Structure 1
Amino acid sequence: MAPIVKVAVIQLHPKPMQLEHNFNKAANFIRSAASQGVELAVLPEYHLTNWKPKEPSFVGLCDQWEVYLQKYRDLAKECGICIVPGTIVESHRDADKEEDRLLNVAYFIDHEGDVAGKYVKKNLWGPEREHLTGSGRDVHEVFDTPIGKVGMLICWDLAFPEAFRELIAGGAKIIIIPTFWKLDDCNEAGLKQNPSAEALFLDCMLTARAFENTCAVVFANAGGPPGHGYAGLSQVTVPFLGALTKLGGCAEGMSVVDIDMQILEDAEENYQVRSDIASPGWHYDYRHSKMNERL
């Protein structure tokens, strides 16, 4: 039988520009998760800074990315737990252009404090494009971790099925998605039709991606005070069952859930998505079908 993986999704409301406060809050949740035997804890996107790119101090705070990456590495080793610390926005000097580039980066840190994987957000949401540099045509990598083969995406990447296909073609069974997705990301026309349109989007897409890729999706979103547009809905979703756990739209909190990896094997036996992608006759010969490229 396939193993069971115990995962914690942590839904936080990051105080804007309060790195140490937000880290300490996250660390308390992670220590609690470790005490419950959790193997992987996942935090939301922008959990250290919130998304305030026009604040004068934002770029300067992003210079501290190495400090907080090391803090999470030390915490993972202390607690013996794998951590995906949401995303950490990194400031890098572009010598050619003599300007700073901001990258939105997710790390997979293993239980010994080593970095097992790194992903730079590829598909930038409209307002991010003024501030961030995406990973462009870099491939979506799959990482070998203590909980198996893992892929990582970030927030708006969820809307691109191609990203998932590339990851499962590489063997990923669990796809981790730190997110800062709000209800008020929807435009006025959409909100007029349905004030909860983005919540509907998230629930539908997370379920669809799990089914159509025979994978588990670990989705950690930001929460926040009522009336401020936070969507929450952090969850772990698998085929056949949908969401195994789901946090509410506003409250901070943590949910611990067991992923029975046998469900993924049973789903693949039923839907045969991975075997189709790996077959010599696979007719969608896009770049992201790595297995097809090798044939």
Structure 2
Amino acid sequence: MTTLASVAANFTRDLEQNYALIASLVHEARERGVDFMVLPEAAIGGYLSSLGNHGDTVKTTARSLPPAISLDGPEIARVQQIIGDLVIAIGFCELAEDGETRYNAAAVLDGNRIYGTYRKVHQPLGEGMSYSAGSDYDVFDTPVGRVGLQICYDKAFPEAARIMALKGAAIIASLSAWPAARTATAENLQDDRWTYRFNLFDSARALDNQVFWMASNQSGTFGSLRYVGNAKVVDPGGNVLATTLLGSGMAVAEVDIDGTFRAMRAGMFHLRDRRPDVYGALTQTDTTDTAKWQELAHA
């Protein structure tokens, strides 16, 4: 059996606060026998303070941007010192080798090893003004199985999860800083339309690909953003095994990964039953159609 934990918590620009919060979560995870814990997007240094045309940009401000972190820098080393032999996924702003380019990134690691890293591919609203975009999805062999990483808006794109499932991911960790709707926000954020989408995507992507899906998220507020929490563990049938709902906390579920796959994939196995020969349009890049989509998006 494997114990999975997805976290909803509030991470800010205060790195010492971040480290203390991670240490507290690690302590709880150890008490609950957790093997793999997923922390939110931007858990080291916090996310952007706003989005949209008025959002944080490299050109207009440096003060509100998350700290840029090198993989071999002291911040990652500090996290590794805290977690010891616990395997985690964690989000941060990665500083590229050129010393200038910034990525919204995630890593899966323990105290001794970084098993893999990911740079966010799909960028919402004004995020592209603060980060460069990644260009691939990979999966990584870890002590808890083969793990894929994606960040926030990626979950809206079925292709992102599918390519990792085809590469053998047993678990997909989806790290988010997912806020409530910016307009017509529901009084109860659990009823907000963006909360609904967040939860729907989680169950759909797990079921689409028949994988274990671990969704973490920021909670509380930061800048102008109100986060919706709802960290969860979802099984390959799309069933939510544990959730934090709006609050901060840890959604924990004990699962039999191999046994679940044998049972759920014995009959209908979505990856096996695909028809790639009729999916050609998915990878075509017609500039005329792209221009039409952009016009509709800005109409």
CA distance in structure 1 between the aligned counterparts of 2:167 and 2:120, rounded to whole angstroms: 18
Distance 1:94 1:240, change over 3 A: closer
CA contact (8 A) 2:39 2:217 kept: yes
**In structure 2, distance between residues paired with 1:94 and 1:64:** 11
Residue 64 of structure 1: how far off its partner (Å): 6.6
SS at match of 1:153: strand
Matched position secondary structure for 1:126: coil
Q: Find out whether 1:284 has 2:290 as its counterpart.
A: no
Aligned pairs for 1:43-62 (under 5 A) are 43-52=39-48, 53=56, 56-59=62-65, 61-62=67-68
Query: Equivalent residue for 1:246?
Result: 243
Q: Which residue of 1 aligns with 2:6?
A: 9
2:89 alignment partner, one of 74, 84, 87: 84
Q: How many residues align?
A: 267
The letter of the residue matching 1:231 is: V
Q: Any conservation in 2 of the 1:159–1:205 contact (CA below 8 Å)?
A: yes
Return closer, same or farther for 1:60/1:209 CA change in 2, 3 Å cut-off: closer
Shift of 1:102: 1.1
- Closer, same or farther in 2 for the Cα pair 1:238/1:31, shift >3 Å? same
TM-fit CA distance, 1:284: 2.9
Structure 1 residue aligned with 2:213: 217
Alpha-carbon distance in 2 for matches of 1:190, 1:224: 15
Distance 1:235 1:92, change over 3 A: same
Q: Cα offset for 1:228?
A: 6.0
Deviation at 1:48, TM superposition (A): 2.5
The 1-side partners of 2:69 and 2:109 are apart by: 20
Letter in 1 for 2:106: A
Partner of 1:70: 77
Q: Matches of residues 111-150 of structure 1 in structure 2 within 5 Å?
A: 112-136=111-135, 138=136, 140-150=137-147
Aligned 1:234-273 pairs, distance under 5 A: 234-240=231-237, 242-249=239-246, 251-261=247-257, 262-273=259-270
Equivalent position amino acid for 2:83 in 1: A
Separation in structure 1 between the aligned mates of residue 11 and residue 201 of structure 2, nearest angstrom: 25
Task: Select 1:172's aligned residue among 145, 169, 173.
Answer: 169
Q: Report what 2:157 is aligned to.
A: 160
2:105 paired residue number: 105
Matches of 1:126 and 1:161, distance apart in 2: 19
Counterpart-to-counterpart distance in 2, 1:273 and 1:60: 39
Question: Is the Cα–Cα contact under 8 Å of residues 6 and 37 in structure 1 kept in the other structure?
Answer: yes
- Identify which of 179, 183, 193 aligns with 1:182: 179
Instruction: Look up the equivalent residue of 1:180 and give its one-letter code.
Output: A
In the superposition, relative to structure 1, how do residues 270 and 202 fare at CA in structure 2: closer, same or farther (>3 Å)? farther
Displacement, 1:71? 1.4
Contact residue 185 and residue 192 of structure 2 kept, 8 A: no
CA contact (8 A) 2:107 2:116 kept: yes
In 1, distance between residues paired with 2:127 and 2:113?
Answer: 29
Q: Return the alpha-carbon distance in structure 2 between the equivalents of residues 156 and 67 of structure 1.
A: 28
Relative to the length of structure 2, the TM-score reads 0.80
TM-score after normalising by structure 1:
0.81
Assess if the C-alpha contact under 8 Å between 2:175 and 2:217 holds in 1.
Answer: yes
Identity in percent: 24
Other-structure match for 2:19: 23
Give the drift of 1:239: 3.1
Structure 1 residue 49, shift from structure 2 partner = 2.3
8 Å contact 1:76–1:109 — kept in the other structure?
no
> 2:38 and 2:238 mapped to 1: Cα distance?
21
Residue pair 1:235, 1:243 contacting (<8 A) in 2 also? yes
Corresponding residue for residue 291 of structure 1: none
Structure 2 unpaired stretches of 5+: 49-55, 284-299
8 A Cα contact 2:244 2:251, kept in partner: yes
4+ long deviations beyond 4 Å: 189-192, 225-228
